[in-house]
Amino acid sequence: MKTWKKLTNIVLVICIMFTAFLVPNMEPAAKVKVSAKNVLVIVGQTYNVPVKITYFKEGRTIKNLKSNSSDLLVKQTTQNWDSWYSDASNNYAEISMYAKKAGKYKVTFSVCNEKNKVVSKHTVNVTATTATAYNSPVKKAVFAGKSTYPYSIVSKKSGKFKVTMNKGFKLKSITMQTYDAQGKQVEKKIKNNANVKLGEYAYKNEYSNEYSYDNSWSYYYYTRMFAETVFTVQYQNTKTKEIGTISYSVFKMPKN
């Protein structure tokens, strides 16, 4: 009887070990956020707002990025991992698009983990339209009472930024981008008709290199003439539910 019980236990252990080999080491369902599933781009426009994919985990990558047509170019333009940053949403990628012709397209891609295994698959529907056929979503955009289309140069340091939407479009958000004294971009969300302080510093880029093998060195410095504040308006077509953006720049003389 003892021998039979011992044999049964051995068989049970073997079965458990065999089952462990059969069950794959599955990763929990991926928490991935795509900023928009339906987007609108303008034909021939090099700046169309990128689609942002938030990983919520470092080490993830975009794979198998494809457009279903050669008339829509698609490219990953940003990859950011940050294990130190307290907010996991700082782990993200961005995908940019360029349309050669008007039409409807699909962009597909996968999100993979650090072991290159697919954790989620995504599709973005893209509508490309020409600038002449494009019904501008924004009826009017003003800063301190002055139109910002296509841009404006002001002497004021602060004022209200307000957008009025055309019929058929809904305002979703306004993002304000400036530069700090080190030339780093600073971004924040603002409310419509909010009183804001314009950026005080112009974008700059500075670096130097030293080469020990021949005792040579190099230095590079670049800055822009004006301090630029960019207001990016995100909107939604109330009928098609497509999401897009349009940007307005306000320039002033910088501190630097």
Q: Domains of the chain: which residue ranges? A: 33-129, 138-252
pLDDT at 133: 58
Strands 118-129 and 38-42: parallel
Please, are residues 29 and 113 in contact by the beta-carbon 8 Å criterion? Answer: no
Show pLDDT as tens, one digit a residue, over the chain (256 residues): 545 445 455 545 455 444 444 444 444 445 899 999 999 888 887 667 779 999 888 788 999 999 999 999 999 888 888 766 556 777 888 898 989 999 999 999 999 998 999 999 999 999 998 866 566 889 899 999 998 876 788 999 999 999 999 999 999 999 999 999 988 889 999 999 999 999 999 988 887 888 787 777 777 778 888 999 999 999 999 998 888 888 899 999 998 7
SS (H, E, C) the chain: CHHHHHHHHHHHHHHHHHHHHHCCCCCCCCCCEECCCEEEEECCCCCCCCEEEECCCCCCEEEEEEECCCCEEEEEEEEECCCCCCCHHHCEEEEEEEECCCEEEEEEEEEECCCCCEEEEEEEEEEEECCCCCCCCEEEEEECCEECCCEEECCCCEEEEEEEECCCEEEEEEEEEEECCCCCEEEEEECCCEEEECCCCCCEEEEEEEECCCCEEEEEEEECCCEEEEEEEEEEECCCCCEEEEEEEEEECCCC
pLDDT at 182: 85
pLDDT at 132: 65
pLDDT at 3: 52
Please, are residues 67 and 107 in contact by the beta-carbon 8 Å criterion? Answer: yes
Instruction: Determine how many CB atoms are found less than 10 A away from the CB of residue 178.
Output: 21
Who's near 59: CB < 8 A, 6+ residues apart?
81, 113, 114
Q: What is the pTM of this model?
A: 0.62
Tell me the CATH architecture of domain 33-129: Sandwich (2.60)
Please, are residues 182 and 252 in contact by the beta-carbon 8 Å criterion? Answer: no
* 169 beta partners: 237
- Tokens at residue 185, please? 């971009």
pLDDT at 8: 52
